[in-house]
């Protein structure tokens, strides 16, 4: 992914349904082009920045995105901006917040939550462990919220992680970052193994763990009365997704996650993607079909003993790129992601 993407977030957003900001995509673009960031920094300072400096740079650039609010139902709102998508259930029983943006966005996230009403935040629900979805756990917990997530999210956040470099090419490197363990105050206070339900504000929130998909920590949150489903990063709407092999991500799991939500959704269901605009059943079906096509094509190369680089040379996604290749990950990178997560 070319570094100039980092200076062109607005045009990218316009290319992917301009009604919704793709700031979440911008963060992952920083993440996926970390080697390009290092190279740029070295040319200016003659020394590679530390892992902490790289993450601070990502968060600062990501924080430049505005927060946009979209009402999904009477008491359910989607906030889009510096960290993908946040979903809020608001009412007399308090606020229930799904995902939390990146850390520098905290003052604006707090303001956006306050604008929805005076009720306190009772629960924060993490859809998975990645920092663009969990960064503001700690201040929300300090304000009185209970953080709830799958048990693997707590485990992963408690550990150091190195996202391996999956691919190096003329457009930069795919992944290659270090994450320290999250502070204790950011960790979930409650966790579950398979399913969990919350009743609040006349709504039922049904939480369920997916088999390893984007990571091994993924859950979905189904607002049953409102007919809204938040999928976290098991759904990247309108673009090739990032799948994290460092925490057991699998393309087959991404397909299974899509199938699970399709079985729950009807034509009126609002499906919140971890990154990309608000989706619906038709959008998710298109994404699922792209995943199946990608898996099948790369599997043939892998079964034939071809390397990822040889698979890239075959340009297996040339027909998919006009629709799916304008987001976070380009075609060559997507070949490597699929190959390594089969």
Inter-CA distances, 139 with 99, 107, 133, 207, Å: 13, 10, 14, 23
Tell me how far apart the alpha carbons of residues 105 and 262 are, in angstroms, rounded to a whole number. 32
- Cβ-contact 130, 246 below 8 angstroms: no
- Under the banding of pLDDT at 50, 70 and 90, the label for residue 112 is very high
What mean pLDDT is reported for the chain? 86
| DSSP-derived pairing of the beta strands 95-98 and 121-125 | parallel
pLDDT for res 24: 40
Question: Residue 28: is its pLDDT beyond 90?
Answer: no
Angle between helix 331-340 and helix 281-303 axes, rounded to 10 deg: 70
Question: What would the pLDDT profile of 180-207 be if each residue is shown by its tens digit?
Answer: 999 999 999 999 999 999 999 999 999 9
Angle between helix 51-62 and helix 23-32 axes, rounded to 10 deg: 160
Instruction: Give the mean pLDDT of 213-229.
Output: 98
Question: Residue 323: is its pLDDT beyond 90?
Answer: yes
Inter-CA distances, 326 with 32, 134, 298, Å: 14, 26, 20
pLDDT higher for 59 or 316? 316
Q: What b/e readout covers 68-88, taking b as 16+ CB neighbours within 10 angstroms?
A: eebebeebbbbbbbbbbbbbb
- Under the banding of pLDDT at 50, 70 and 90, the label for residue 64 is confident
- Cβ-contact 335, 298 below 8 angstroms: yes
Least confident range from 60-74, 103-117, 130-144, 189-203: namely 60-74
- Under the banding of pLDDT at 50, 70 and 90, the label for residue 327 is confident
């Amino acid at each position: 992914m070319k570094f100039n993407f980092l200076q062109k977030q607005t045009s990218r957003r316009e290319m992917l349904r301009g009604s919704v900001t793709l700031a979440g995509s911008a963060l992952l673009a920083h993440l996926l082009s970390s080697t390009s960031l290092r190279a740029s920094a070295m040319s200016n300072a003659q020394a590679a920045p530390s892992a902490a400096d790289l993450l601070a740079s990502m968060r600062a650039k990501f924080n430049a995105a505005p927060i946009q609010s979209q009402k999904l139902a009477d008491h359910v709102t989607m906030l889009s901006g510096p960290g993908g998508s946040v979903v809020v259930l608001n009412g007399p029983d308090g606020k229930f917040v799904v995902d939390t943006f990146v850390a520098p966005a905290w003052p604006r996230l707090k303001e956006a939550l306050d604008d929805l009403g005076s009720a306190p935040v009772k629960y924060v629900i993490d859809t998975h462990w990645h920092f663009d979805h969990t960064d503001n756990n700690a201040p929300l917990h300090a304000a009185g919220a209970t953080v709830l997530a799958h048990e693997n999210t707590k485990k992963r956040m408690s550990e150091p992680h190195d996202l391996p470099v999956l691919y190096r090419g003329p457009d930069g490197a795919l992944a290659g970052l270090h994450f320290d363990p999250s502070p204790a105050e950011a960790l979930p206070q409650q966790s579950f193994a398979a399913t969990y339900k919350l009743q609040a504000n006349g709504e039922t929130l049904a939480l369920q763990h997916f088999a390893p998909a984007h990571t091994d920590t993924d859950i979905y949150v189904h607002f049953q009365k409102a007919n809204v489903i938040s999928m976290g990063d098991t759904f990247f709407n309108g673009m090739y997704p990032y799948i994290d092999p460092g925490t057991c991500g699998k393309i087959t799991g991404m397909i299974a996650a899509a199938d699970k939500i399709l079985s729950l959704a009807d034509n009126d269901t609002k499906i919140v993607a971890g990154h990309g605009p608000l989706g619906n059943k038709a959008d998710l079906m298109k994404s699922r079909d792209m995943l199946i096509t990608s898996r099948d094509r790369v599997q043939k190369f892998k079964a034939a003993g071809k390397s990822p680089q040889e698979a890239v040379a075959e340009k297996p996604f040339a027909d998919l790129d006009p629709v799916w290749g304008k987001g976070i990950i380009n075609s060559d990178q997507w070949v490597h992601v699929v190959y390594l997560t089969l």
